[in-house]
Amino acid sequence: MGMSQEKDGGKTPRIYYSFGDYGGSNGKDANRTYSGGYAAIERPRIRFSRDEIKHLALATVVLTIAFSFALSRPGWITPSFNKEFLLGVLDFMPAAFAGVVTAFLLHELGHKFTAQRFGLWSEFRYSMSGLVMALFVSVVFGIVFAAPGAVYIGGSVNKRENGLISLAGPGVNIVIAFVSLPLLLFVFANTAFWGQLFYTVFFINSFLAMFNMLPFGNMDGKKIMSWKPAVFGITLCVSVGFVVAAFNIVELYALIMSLL
């Protein structure tokens, strides 16, 4: 989710991708000035280029459509693409949009803003092939498997900075899940529209946090575990707990109501 170089390791800069890191780079972008934006290494402050805003917007729109298709169909049943099905897709679009903005967009911005706080150049770029794949799989199979792009980070970081940048993404997801769960259970449980919306926000954020905490490859979890194993363990356990709660939300609600 960012391209960085550890100061004490002398490693080649790498690109960390959204929704799970899956690639690498020779670091050519580390000191690049993009046509729509700003120089790579400047004093710490939050800023966006025009190109980055366009990339974030397109990725958000495509993922919203993908999640709308996935949420509107029961499992692996092949859709008929009739009027009723398409109206169902539109019905789920507000919840899908809320889930994508809170889970994908804020996750990526968490990485970006933390990197910029350390004085690093940081911008999101979408992957067209990843977006096309996400849309295709959601329409055909009713699931979302997405590698929509990457937050590119240019500059050198130490292990602590790399760990904090990595933690920022799933950390944002956990905070949002933590806030949305009580709202779902105690405020919007009996309202169809808002209940659906807050459940979607809770589920997508919980699952994305857990997925990114896997300690493999270039995932956030591996970098966090390398930095502070205790932080990794706590973050992983919390995210897994939220995912379990999401899959058993009806039983959780019944249990809580029985205790009140």
Taking alpha carbons only, the member of 18, 129, 131 closest to residue 67 is 131
What residue type is 149 in one-letter code?
G
pTM of the predicted model over 0.85: no
Looking at residue 12, its pLDDT comes to 37
Residue 33 has pLDDT above 60, yes or no: no
108 phi, psi to nearest 5 deg: -65, -40
**DSSP run (H or E) holding 137:** helix 128-141
Whole-angstrom Cα distance, residue 178 to residue 189?
16
Tell me how far apart the alpha carbons of residues 64 and 66 are, in angstroms, rounded to a whole number. 5
**What pLDDT, on a 0 to 100 scale, did the predictor assign at position 93?**
94
What does DSSP assign to residue 56?
H
- The residue ranges of every structural domain in the chain are 5-259
State how far the Cα of 236 lies from the Cα of 105, in Å rounded to an integer: 21
In this predicted model, what pLDDT tens digit does every residue of 95-114 receive, in sequence order? 999 999 999 999 999 999 99
Please report the pLDDT score of residue 197 as a whole number: 96
Q: Are 201 and 176 in contact (CB under 8 A)?
A: yes
pLDDT of residue 30: 37
Mean pLDDT of 107-127: 92
Alpha carbon distances (Å) from 173 to 43, 108, 159, 178, 199:
27, 10, 22, 9, 14
Three-class secondary structure of residue 124 per DSSP: strand
Name the DSSP letter for residue 9.
T
User: How many beta carbons lie within 10 A of that of residue 138, not counting itself?
Assistant: 25
| pLDDT value of residue 75 | 57
Q: Is the pLDDT of residue 21 over 80?
A: no
Residue 19 has pLDDT above 90, yes or no: no
Question: Could you report the per-residue pLDDT of 151-195, keeping only the tens digit for each?
Answer: 888 888 899 999 999 999 999 999 999 999 999 999 999 999 999
Is 158 in contact with 193 (CB distance < 8 Å)? no
Spatial separation of the C-alpha atoms in residues 113 and 121, rounded to whole Å: 10
Are the CB atoms for 107 and 208 separated by under 8 Å?
Answer: yes
Range with top average pLDDT, 34-48, 72-86, 141-155, 189-203: 189-203
pLDDT bin (cut points 50, 70, 90) of residue 214 is very high
Mean pLDDT of 205-234: 94
Cα–Cα distance, 219 to 166 (Å, whole number): 8
Residue 156, strand partner residues: 5
Instruction: Report angle CA 51, 53, 58 to the nearest 5 degrees.
Output: 95
Residue 17 pLDDT exceeds 80:
no
- Which residues, 6 or more positions from 35, have their beta carbon under 8 angstroms from its beta carbon? 51
Predicted pLDDT at 198: 96
19-28, 44-53, 68-77, 200-209, range with the lowest pLDDT: 19-28
Specify the pLDDT at position 67.
93
Residue 33 CB-half CA count within 13 A: 3
Q: What is the pLDDT of residue 71?
A: 87
Residues classed as catalytic: 108
Using pLDDT thresholds of 50, 70 and 90, give the confidence band for residue 252.
very high
